[in-house]
Amino acid sequence: MLKGKTALITGSTSGIGLGIAKALAAQGANIVLNGFGDVEGPKAEVAGLGVQVSYHGADMSKPAEIENMIHHATKTFGALDILVNNAGIQHVARVENFPVERWDAIMAINLSSAFHATRLALPGMLARNWGRIINVASIHGLVASAEKSAYVAAKHGVVGLTKVTALENATTGVTCNAICPGWVLTPLVQKQVDAKATALKISNDDATKLLLGEKEPSLQFTTPEELGALAVFFCSPAGNNVRGVAWNMDGGWTAQ
């Protein structure tokens, strides 16, 4: 379905981003990966799906590097058709104790990077009258949790940016939507499970149930593969008139 298209996914060397990259690649899209840590492993996984893969290591807190990454995607594949703004970091602390530098870093990577990538990708998409901008927000773009002030504020901002981008381009072939996952078993979340198990001296399974039971009625993690399938839907003809939504995939979290 996406043969001949190019997708750039930020924060895609693991977790949700890699899951979305693989789902888009399975539909034939060439992929530009971005992120830290192991690069060759994720590149090989995506290339194994029969598409071309490139990588750019832009620091998503730096607008100049984001601009260079967008140029890289365009120069490498001729166009950038699908942008998935997924890069994100987290820090947990009460507001009065929240380190200012951590607030600034979360805002830069979780919110401002999506703005910069979007503003740079839009002109090419509009010139071709086709594009998909998918912002990976979070359930925390819709509701809050204590001690996550920067993350919640940034993700609410991402949902707002999604709506404005969708409205400004509503009469064009460019759509913008947000995905709002609940708990997803990524390496970041696994660390939280492990920490809870250690702190409470319980098994990993019990810690998982405890973590999910606090918020997610389904008592099951959303998977990167499920999120990838939703991204594919947004890119499909069925998604042509889906514009400005914040689509929660949260096991019933916000239905409570």
Catalytic (active-site) positions: 151
Using the Cα atoms of residue 159, residue 162, residue 166 and residue 168 in order, give the sign of their dihedral.
positive
Residue corresponding to tokens 């509009």:
126
Measure the CA angle with vertex 53, ends 90 and 109; round to 5°. Answer: 20
Among candidate residues 136, 141, 102, the one with its CA nearest the CA of residue 253: 141
Please give the DSSP secondary-structure letter assigned to residue 253. G
Q: Report the length, in residues, of the chain.
A: 256
Q: How far apart are CA 211 and CA 81, in angstroms?
A: 37
Cβ neighbourhood burial of 49 (10 Å; 0-12, 13-18, 19+): middle
Q: How far apart are CA 117 and CA 62, in angstroms?
A: 11
